Amino acid sequence: MCSSRWIDHVKNTKEQYGVQEITADELQAALQEKDTAPVLIDVRETDEWKTGKLPTAVGLPRGILELKVENVVSPDSQRPIVLYCAGGLRSIMTAASLIGMGYNKENIKSLTGGFGSWAKKGYTVVKD
């Protein structure tokens, strides 16, 4: 269960940085567009990946994402980036961090409801 302070902090961060969200249905449609498909970044901890990941997702846990994200996508890239975690809160915080690092906030989205919403919809989940 999430504390109310954490939820309030996430809400305030989302508003302050203008973090956009994308639903599982919208993401599924976006992934079908081969030329404009977003870069997917899974910010969950490695032990959470046991339940699977979204297809094509790169695993960069939130604790190291800022150190390694430029190896995956440059701040100058115009490709859309979709971040996700288990429930959609940590990915909002990560989106704010990327915006603070100079990534274009128009290209960054957080998956509403995270991995849980994706899996609940029955969309493809891959396991290593």
Q: Which residues contact 58 (CB under 8 A, 6 or more apart)?
A: 39, 40, 41, 42, 72
Establish if 84 belongs to a structural domain. yes
Establish if 67 belongs to a structural domain. yes
pLDDT of residue 124 exceeding 90, the answer is yes
Establish if 1 belongs to a structural domain. no
CATH of the domain at 28: 3.40.250.10
Average pLDDT of every residue of the chain: 95
Average pLDDT over residues 85-109: 97
Catalytic residues: 85
Q: How many separate domains does the chain show?
A: 1
**Residue range(s) defining the domain that contains residue 60:** 12-120
pLDDT tens figures, 19-60: 999 999 999 999 999 889 999 999 999 999 999 999 999 999
Q: Which residue has the tokens 């996700």?
A: 84
CA distance 69 to 108: 13
Establish if 54 belongs to a structural domain. yes
Give the model's confidence band at 112: pLDDT under 50 very low, under 70 low, under 90 confident, else very high: very high
pLDDT tens figures, 57-68: 999 999 999 999
